[in-house]
């Protein structure tokens, strides 16, 4: 299943947030979105997943989601959004409960996603007992449980320390290599963008427009051997973002 964002624009009252976003997300592709703070990245993601309605334009779903997909557009949130009153297992079963699956079937899915995210030993732990990195893994497991066609990730690693981030990034790369998921990945960390992105979209300051689109052709599993190229890409991205970020920083929020 592909996504096609067509002339997407959004306003909050008088505040113009997004303007004419045109973007294609192909199956098995990770599209990273970077942009200065407040340019509408999170808003864009909410529009893509149908949590909000765009003022103008539309998000088209092209093709059918793969068989067995329970929730085609699935989010992974920056703050994990785990229910503190449910165990790791309970948090995952939450998203399976309304779907008329048999008990055995749901149980099977839970065991499977816990194994894939290396969480099998933590099935009965409470969220409060987990570190940030583990919480985000639970959120990834929960997302995988509904077999999404596209994962929508809003700064999934931003709440983590840099070592944990590094580890989780490796996990995501590994996951992509084995399963090839599709994702729209919002981040403000350019290193993450060049490590994970097949396509990197640079947004301008608010109102956000697509300023530039950068493709990286190096396969994900070989990126660690191409430090130089990635570094150049990162510098290129920063040179595009720098002016926008500086200008955005100088603006008054309600101006």
Partner 1 sequence: MADTRPISSQSQSAEEPAKTVPFRGGGFVVKPLGVIAPLVFVVIIALWELGSQTGFISGLVLPSPSESFEAFRQLFDSGLLFVHLSASLQRIVIGWTVGSTLGIIVGLMIGLSSVARAGLAPLVSAIFPIPKIALLPLFIIWFGIGEGSKVATILFGTFFPTVITTYGGVDNVDRNLIRMGQSFGLSWMSIVRKIILPGALPAILSGCRISGSIAIILLVAAEMIGAEFGIGAYILMAGSLFATDQLIAGVAILSVMGLCFAWVIGRAEKYFLNWRT
Ligand X SMILES: Nc1ncnc2c1ncn2[C@@H]1O[C@H](COP(=O)(O)OP(=O)(O)OP(=O)(O)O)[C@@H](O)[C@H]1O
Residues that bind Mg ion (CB under 5 A): 42
CA distances from 66 to 25, 62, 119 (A): 15, 12, 25
The correct pick among 1, 5, 17, 183 for binding ligand X (CB under 6 A) is 17
Beta carbon nearer to partner 1, 42 or 189: 42
Instruction: Mark 23-42 with x for binding to ligand X (rule: CB under 6 A) and - for no binding.
Output: ------------x-xxxxxx
Strands 15-25 and 2-12: antiparallel
43 binds ligand X (CB under 6 A): yes
CB-based contacts of 21: which residues, under 8 Å, 6+ apart?
A: 5, 7, 8, 9, 44, 57, 208, 209, 210
Nearest to 195 by CA among 162, 161, 231: 231
Helices assigned H by DSSP within 180-211: 190-196
Of 9-17, 18-26, 53-61, 94-102, which segment contacts partner 1 by CB under 8 A?
94-102
Pick from 74, 79, 61, 50: nearest CA to 144: 74
Would you state the structure tokens that stand for residue 123, as one six-digit string?
């099935």
When asked if residue 254 is in the footprint of partner 1 (CB under 8 A), the reply is no
Chain residues 37-56 in contact with partner 1, contact rule CB under 8 A: 49, 51
Question: Shortest gap between Cβ of 49 and partner 1 (angstroms)?
Answer: 6
Rounded to whole angstroms, the Cα distance separating 219 from 208 reads 29
Segment 176-215, which members bind ligand X (CB under 6 A)? 188, 206
- Residue 75 contacts which entry, ligand X, Mg ion, partner 1, none (Cβ below 5-8 A, type-dependent): partner 1
Out of ligand X, partner 1, Mg ion, none, which partner does residue 246 contact, by CB within 5 to 8 A per kind?
A: none
Any long-range contacts for 117-121 (C-beta under 8 Å, 24+ apart)? 117/141, 117/144, 117/171, 118/171, 119/88
Q: How far is the CB of 253 from ligand X (least distance, A)?
A: 7
Find how far residue 48's CA is from the centre of its chain.
Answer: 11
Q: Which of 14, 103, 128, 228 binds partner 1 (CB under 8 A)?
A: 128
Contacting range for partner 1; rule: CB under 8 A; set: 22-30, 68-76, 160-168, 211-219: 68-76
What is the rounded distance in angstroms from the CA atom of residue 255 to the CA atom of residue 196?
Answer: 35
Cβ 37 to ligand X shortest distance, Å: 4
Tokens describing residue 202:
């640079």
State which of residues 13, 14, 68, 84 lies at the interface with partner 1 (CB under 8 A): 84
Please pick, from the candidates 77, 122, 176, 181, the single residue that binds partner 1 as defined by CB under 8 A: 77
What are the residues binding ligand X (CB under 6 A)?
A: 12, 15, 17, 35, 37-43, 188, 206
């Amino acid at each position: 299943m592909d996504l096609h964002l067509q002339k997407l624009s959004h306003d909050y009252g008088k505040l113009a947030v997004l303007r004419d976003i045109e973007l294609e997300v192909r199956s098995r592709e990770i599209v990273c979105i970077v942009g200065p703070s407040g340019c509408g990245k999170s808003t864009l993601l909410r529009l893509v997943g149908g949590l909000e309605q765009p003022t103008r334009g539309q998000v088209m779903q092209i093709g059918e989601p793969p068989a067995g997909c329970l929730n085609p557009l699935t989010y992974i949130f920056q703050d994990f959004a785990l229910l503190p009153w449910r165990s790791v297992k309970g948090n995952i079963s939450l998203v399976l409960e309304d779907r008329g699956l048999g008990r055995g079937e749901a149980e099977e899915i839970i065991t499977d996603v816990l194994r894939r995210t290396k969480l099998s030993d933590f099935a009965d732990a409470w969220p409060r007992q987990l570190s940030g990195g583990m919480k985000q893994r639970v959120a990834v497991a929960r997302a995988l449980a509904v077999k999404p066609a596209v994962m929508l990730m809003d700064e999934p690693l931003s709440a983590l320390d840099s070592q944990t981030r590094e580890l989780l990034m490796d996990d995501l790369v590994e996951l992509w290599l084995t399963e090839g998921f599709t994702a729209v990945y919002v981040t403000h960390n350019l290193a993450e963008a060049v490590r994970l992105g097949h396509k990197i979209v640079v947004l301008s300051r608010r109102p956000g427009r697509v300023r530039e689109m950068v493709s990286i052709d190096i396969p994900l599993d070989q990126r660690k051997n191409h430090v130089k190229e990635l570094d150049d890409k990162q510098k290129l991205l920063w040179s595009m973002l720098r002016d926008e970020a500086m200008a955005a920083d100088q603006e008054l929020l309600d101006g």
